[in-house]
Amino acid sequence: MEHLVNPRVKDIQISGIRKISNLVSTYKDALTLTIGQPDFPTPDHIMKAAHAAIDAHKTTYTPNPGMLELRQAASAFVKGKYGLDYRPESEVIVTSGASQALDITLRTILEEGSEVILPGPIYPGYEPLVRLCGGVPVYADTRKNGFKLTAELLDPYITEKTRCIILCYPSNPTGRVLSKEELADIARLLKDKSIFVISDEIYSELIYGQPHISLASYPGMREKTIVINGLSKSHSMTGWRIGFTFAPEEITQHMVKVHQYNVTCASSISQYAALEALTNGVDDALPMKEAYVQRRDFVYNRLLEMGFELEKPEGAFYLFPSIEKFKLSSMDFTMKLLEEQRVAVVPGDAFSIYGEGYIRISYAYGMDILEKATERMEAFVRKL
């Protein structure tokens, strides 16, 4: 019966990140730097709030877009942190993680043949969702532009079929961040164009040495921008699966229909945990961010010592060094490093063809692991 499966689903591949992670599990002595998951536990006060919700039997459906008090807290959070102003009653949806937020957004705004511009290299979770909607991914090569999709780079890719542009900064896999001026240039370019922007800001609380700025805060951009965020990275709540969409009412009213038939509502217990996170844990990310800065600087400097060429990330918890000088494909480099030194990284080609020639290293791990892993990497590259 497989011949009757939707061809679009059959054409989708399992994420390269998951492929390598699954492979690594067979190497019991491997040090893994693959998954973008905070190594910090969910803050204790959030755990207690979830326990309290369970004890109070708060296990029923919530309103489709999420509990109003949580939407109010989410609205207050992005207003206080980033100056964004969204009405919780009609412009905020609580989703089952940022991935589901992306799914319902793309289902709402795309139709057959719609072009979606993505900066390459990019997290592999976007393209399959675009294709499932009948959209056409259009990659803008950012490799010679410091991995930044600036207005000058973006402009030539815009056509009459362009329906949406996806911006994901801080970036996975590169950790790069668009500056205030670069965002202003994009806003000027798009201000008078009927094109949606999906601004994936899941790493907004993990920017180093500068404030996070959302494209939606620029004149003329709020009405065409769908902001996506969540608690996975900011509050170390990956498994709780809580994300958010922030968009004008005329867009949100349609997105919530897709959301309703997609999951009905996010987990009630997770929503109560999220409410605690966004009220009494507004700055929970700060101690994690301090640790990530230390880790970033350590791994970045070690890679430079080994002779790698790379951009210094301003956010998230990834490094994306070039391996072209070693004359190996990203997959061959990854497999040899795993087999010879038992260190696992993600091959760059997992992030589109524009990631070939690079590897992604996650530094969301303790310093002891990072020190051992970089020692092994140094031994490996010295032999190449």
Q: How far apart are CA 229 and CA 231, in angstroms?
A: 7
pLDDT of residue 23: 81
Q: Which of 227, 238, 237 minimizes the C-alpha distance to 204?
A: 227
pLDDT digits over 302-350, tens only?
999 999 999 999 999 999 999 999 999 999 999 999 999 999 999 999 9
CATH architecture designation of domain 59-279: 3-Layer(aba) Sandwich (3.40)
Q: Give the other-Cβ count within 10 Å of 329's Cβ.
A: 15
Q: Which of 121, 101, 131, 136 minimizes the C-alpha distance to 16?
A: 121
Q: Which of 179, 216, 210 minimizes the C-alpha distance to 198?
A: 216
pTM: 0.96
Say whether 59-279 and 2-42+285-382 share the same fold.
Answer: no
Q: How far apart are CA 132 and CA 156, in angstroms?
A: 25
pLDDT digits over 257-292, tens only?
999 999 999 999 999 999 999 999 999 999 999 999
Element (H, E) at 162: strand 162-168
Q: Is 230 helix (H, G, I), strand (E, B) or coil?
A: strand
The domain limits of the chain are 2-42+285-382, 59-279
| Contact criterion met (CB below 8 Å) for 247 and 255 | yes
Q: How far apart are CA 127 and CA 148, in angstroms?
A: 18
Q: What is the mean pLDDT of residues 212-227?
A: 98
* CATH fold of 2-42+285-382: Aspartate Aminotransferase, domain 1 (3.90.1150)
